[in-house]
Amino acid sequence: MRRRRFVAGTLGALSGIAVGAGAARGATPTPRAATPTIRATAPTTRAEGWQPVPAPGSTPAAQLRRIAAAEPGLAWAVGEENRYGSRDGRALGMLWNGSAWAKTDLAHLNHSRLLDVAGTCATAAWSVGMPNDKASPLLRWDGSTWRETVFPGFPAPSGSRQQDVRLTAVGVGPGRRVWVGGNRDGSFALLRGDGGNWRWLDPLPVTGVNIYRILPRPSGEVWVAGDQGAGGGWAGFVARWNGSWMVLPNVQGVRLAVSDVHPDAVDDVWVVGSDFGVGGPPGRPGSAVLSHWDGTAWTRVPPGFSLGALSGIAADARGRAAWITGWDYRDQSRSTYLRRDGGTWTVVRGPAGPAPAPYLNDVTRVPGTSTFMSVGMTHFNPTPPSEAYVEHLDA
């Protein structure tokens, strides 16, 4: 089961990825990086060129959770709409054609939300959804809409338990190989395939894990991130698949979840998320988490603000972590980012005015360009009148 989150609409996705899209170099060990520093910048009217881009058609309350880009004229974003409180909403999909975002008709799907998306071309995009009355679906983009795809465990054989497979994340790697992750018979495992042939790989050698991000690398290895139950709370979880599992030490916290991971190398890894701690008034926001793995230990890096969350990481053309999306509880009038300047992460703000209190879930780079896209919602609380929200950076 996905953990509770302060921002109710993110419900275990505090998301964000550049999921399965964007250039990235292989994880070749490099000399251990020095602990980065942070400096905060004063809010500006136009932060680094980030600008709102209309994403019309969603029914409040709506949000976009994940985004993936294949090329300048093709990107997908997924999430949910028509949600209110504990009432389930409907799956929401958006398509970028190079000049505008448009809502995708998903009336044929009986899903309350889409959790993740990854894609590389017009016929090689994938998504996973929250099910209604059946096991988790795996969806494939057919050029105009999303369609359910058969895989081992879906649809469930007659008489079997429908809840055995719960998919939570997806990524696309070299050769357009698809990597899907989910809980299967009580343990997390990766499902590997090419759109026709699918195979479940060995499950994680640990239990109590929820995975929210899958990041295939050019080298063939696959990184996963999320959280793991620990001592009545939970801690950040990161692992790497390279023919077998290597589990990194937990990112320690009382109730800490990792929403995204990006390895510049096997001993130079960034994670983001939120730590909810204990106590405090109802609705207490968590603490934004930025942590770095140097091959030996995790080091917590101050993100430039305290209360809030960090949600997604996007890499630059060299494959190095470059932009992070966030939410600053004490400055909700505009979107919040961290921008990498060499060994320093700098707090920058998005445009003021287009959304009353924007919350960003994810960020990605458009392959072959210096353009970045981020997605989320127009208000941190996913209740009406909050709508789907998108910003672009054309550097």
- Token duo for residue 254: 């009382």
Residue at 294 is within a domain:
yes
pLDDT of residue 47: 53
End-to-end CA, the chain = 39
Q: Is the dihedral of CA 249, 251, 255, 257 positive or negative?
A: negative
354 φ/ψ sector (left φ>0, alpha ψ -120 to 50, else beta): alpha
Tell me if the pTM is above 0.85: yes
Q: For residues 2-16, give the mean pLDDT.
A: 37
Residue at 6 is within a domain:
no
Residue at 23 is within a domain:
no
**Which CATH number does the domain housing residue 160 bear?**
2.130.10.150
Tell me which residue range forms the domain holding 254.
44-394
Report the C-alpha gap between 88 and 83 in whole angstroms.
6
171 in Cβ contact with 19 (< 8 Å): yes
Residue at 383 is within a domain:
yes
C-alpha 186, offset from chain centre: 23
Residue at 27 is within a domain:
no
Most trustworthy range by pLDDT among 2-6, 194-198, 228-232, 372-376: 372-376
Window from 19-23, 61-65, 314-318 with minimum mean pLDDT: 19-23
pLDDT tens column, 28-58: 334 445 556 665 554 444 456 899 999 999 9
Residue at 61 is within a domain:
yes
Residue at 256 is within a domain:
yes
Domain total in the chain: 1
Half-sphere exposure of 173 (CA within 13 A, CB side): 23
The yes-or-no verdict on residue 163 having pLDDT over 70 is: no
Residue at 205 is within a domain:
yes
pLDDT of residue 30: 40
Report the C-alpha gap between 256 and 91 in whole angstroms.
27
Burial class (CB in 10 A: 0-12, 13-18, 19+), 40: middle
Kindly state the percentage of the chain with pLDDT values over 70: 83
